[in-house]
């Protein structure tokens, strides 16, 4: 065990070489070992030649698809598929959990993006990560594109990284957000290695309900956001979810974490816009009537709470803006002019998220906000076992609580 931290001195080197019968001088490689080493480089030459012959025999279309996938370029059809899905979602205005929204996106995307390989750590029915066209990869079907990983979050995440490093594959896998703890070493390495693995994390708050605090993530969003070179998406509805997937599947150097709900959410983006608003990290969902006196900043399931709070405040003559912030990291990358346009100095600010506050203060008291004129509605403890609606009331993540915070800040 001392070898992990102790310095290696001359005596230890001498004794170790004697124990292994190593007689070569320092910094030299014996000729027989060098020859074996060099032969390894040619070992796959014939297999490589055969592979190149097979590739050359393919049609121009198939070779083009192969080259595109290896270059991490999205198929031309992807943008249109996402745009049509967004338009339909805005028109239907259905209430839907974002994990189900994600399932709808995958059902549309996987058939046109044949390089996707999906999976789940024994939670396929809960994560909604399998589309019907994929087929299961197993001993009888090597063409399957969906993998049942079993209860192996770390193994799944590490294997997905390996696929992406190999090239030609867009790998995604799902588990519960609370179980990012098990996958985290591989998630961190994806960020460090600058590869675009996609981690689908559902049941992302106390909104999952009766499974209780062991399964209810409160600190996991902050941990994921604290990881450099990681995009954490927390979409508010199906439209946001489609945009998050588009960004995740077109990323070339940054892994994505999709934080998705178990509980149903209303469609908030009712006016279709072809442009991907989530690409800027945050956007104004609802403007204030008259002068903006308060800005409510929310993510995911709490954006609807912000919208309800705005209605209460506007009814009292308090002009209130709602900002949806699906990806803090992308918002931080925008130029200062855009950030100031979305979050103007002057109005009071309240952040709303069913998670701990860490990571929020840049957008509340920072970036021209003020400590005395900002507050947060969220979690400062573990959750509890009860239906989602009961829990949001218990922990004070409600429109009325937001309204009260704003009124207190305004004085």
**What is the set of active-site residues?**
153
Closest CA to 251 of 274, 232, 223: 232
Q: What six digits make up the tokens of 134? A: 């994929």
Beta-carbon contacts of 42 under 8 Å, excluding residues fewer than 6 positions away, are none
Q: The sheet that has 294-298: what strands, in order across it?
A: 283-286, 320-324, 294-298, 348-352, 374-377
> Torsions phi, psi of 87, nearest 5?
-60, -45
CA angle, corner 88, sides to 326 and 398, nearest 5? 40
Per-residue tokens: 10? 């001359």
Residues whose CB is less than 8 angstroms from the CB of residue 127 and which lie 6 or more positions away in sequence, other chains included: 99, 120, 174, 175, 176, 200, 202
Please say whether the beta carbons of 256 and 233 come within 8 A: yes
Whole-number Å distance between alpha carbons of 349 and 367: 11
Mode of pairing for the β-strands spanning 320-324 and 283-286: antiparallel
């Amino acid at each position: 065990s001392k070898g992990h931290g102790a310095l290696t001195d001359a005596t230890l080197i001498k004794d170790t070489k004697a124990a292994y019968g190593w007689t070569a001088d320092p910094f030299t490689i014996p000729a027989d070992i060098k020859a074996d080493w060099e032969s390894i480089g040619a070992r796959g030459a014939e297999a490589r030649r055969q592979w190149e012959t097979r590739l050359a025999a393919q049609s121009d279309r198939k070779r083009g698809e192969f080259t595109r996938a290896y270059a991490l370029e999205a198929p031309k059809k992807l943008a249109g598929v996402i745009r049509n899905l967004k338009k339909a979602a805005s028109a239907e205005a259905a209430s839907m959990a974002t994990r189900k929204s994600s399932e709808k996106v995958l059902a549309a995307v996987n058939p046109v993006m044949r390089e996707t390989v999906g999976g789940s750590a024994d939670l396929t029915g809960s994560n909604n990560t399998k589309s019907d066209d994929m087929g299961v990869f197993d001993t009888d079907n090597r063409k399957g594109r969906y993998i049942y990983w079993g209860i192996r979050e770390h193994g799944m995440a590490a294997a997905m990284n390996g696929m992406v490093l190999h090239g030609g594959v867009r790998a995604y896998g799902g588990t519960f957000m609370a179980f990012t703890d098990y996958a985290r070493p591989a998630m961190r390495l994806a960020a460090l290695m600058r590869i675009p693995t996609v981690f689908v994390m559902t049941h992302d708050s106390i909104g999952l309900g009766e499974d209780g605090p062991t399964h209810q993530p409160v600190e996991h969003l902050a941990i994921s956001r604290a990881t450099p070179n990681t995009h954490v998406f927390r979409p508010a509805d199906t439209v946001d979810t489609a945009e998050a997937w588009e960004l995740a599947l077109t990323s070339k150097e940054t892994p994505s974490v999709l934080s998705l709900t178990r509980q149903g959410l209303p469609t908030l983006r009712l006016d279709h816009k072809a442009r991907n608003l989530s690409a800027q990290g945050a956007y104004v969902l609802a403007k204030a009537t008259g002068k903006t006196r308060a800005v409510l900043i929310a993510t995911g399931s709490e954006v609807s709470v912000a919208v309800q709070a705005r209605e209460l405040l506007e009814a009292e003559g308090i002009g209130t803006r709602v900002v949806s912030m699906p990806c803090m990291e992308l918002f931080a990358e925008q130029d200062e002019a855009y950030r100031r346009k979305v979050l103007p100095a002057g109005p009071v600010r309240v952040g709303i998220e069913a998670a701990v506050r860490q990571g929020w203060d840049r957008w509340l008291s920072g970036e021209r906000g003020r400590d005395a004129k900002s507050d947060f509605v969220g979690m400062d403890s573990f959750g509890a076992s009860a239906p989602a609606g009961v829990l949001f009331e218990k922990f004070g993540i409600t429109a009325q609580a937001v309204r009260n915070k704003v009124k207190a800040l305004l004085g």
